Copies of this chain bind each other. A is one copy, B any other.
């Protein structure tokens, strides 16, 4: 059975205005990859009801799993739940178990469990709750769509609880070979190795720092032996061309600044 395929949908004007920097795509991408769930695309959209409805329908129909973040809080701009319910043509109900959890959560505080906070117990009919161990207000799963909070600490706690219920796949093997060679010089070698190993995807990520440059060659595939063999061949060919190559010990080295050098 092939690995399940998934999409992430980040809902929030604050990301599109640049005011808030999304951290959920990168975090979820790593978690999904580790579960053997292939992430095929991620989208960021506005807090707009029709846009949410259309995008949820499209992604739900296209992938095994969809994971959303944002828009399930207590205020007027939190419209995700109404839109997701509309996407599946079901009403929103005041969910008894969600109400019970929120009532317990606020009981021993001096915070008023007012109508706005009760709105966080509104859930599309037929959805299953996703636990929120941080602040009680639950996420939920409806069909193949998992609706979670936008605050990273809450989203992460929700996903950790949810992960065991997902069908995983084969975790890809990823080997990084660091090469003291420019990307343009190694290109021929990589094209050659790539041709020989069909199931291995080979990415190359150049990096630069003062007085130094190199290329991180990242080999990924579902068959360990193939990825190993392709990595060995890259190493051998780079060394034969007169450049240093070393395999990263932990296979998770990120080239260059340690943050982000795609290309």
Contacts and interface: CB of A to CB of B under 8 A. Distances in A.
Interface string A46-79: 1100010000000000000000011011111110
Interface stretch (A88-96, A161-169, A203-211): A203-211
A261 B21 CA distance: 9
Copies per assembly:
2
A202 B76 contact: yes
Nearest to A262: B150
A252 B18 CA distance: 10
B46 A30 contact: no
A145 to B, nearest CB: 18
A43 B39 CA distance: 12
A16 B201 CA distance: 13
A218 interface: yes
Nearest to A253: B19
Nearest to A154: B263
B149 A184 contact: no
A256 to B, nearest CB: 8
Interface in A214-263: 218, 220, 252, 254, 259-263
A243 to B, nearest CB: 13
B33 A41 contact: no
A26 B18 contact: yes
A220 B70 CA distance: 19
Interface in A97-139: 111-112, 114-117, 119-120
Interface of A: 12-23, 25-33, 39-47, 51, 69-70, 72-78, 111-112, 114-117, 119-120, 149-152, 154, 172, 174, 182-188, 190-191, 194, 201-206, 218, 220, 252, 254, 259-263
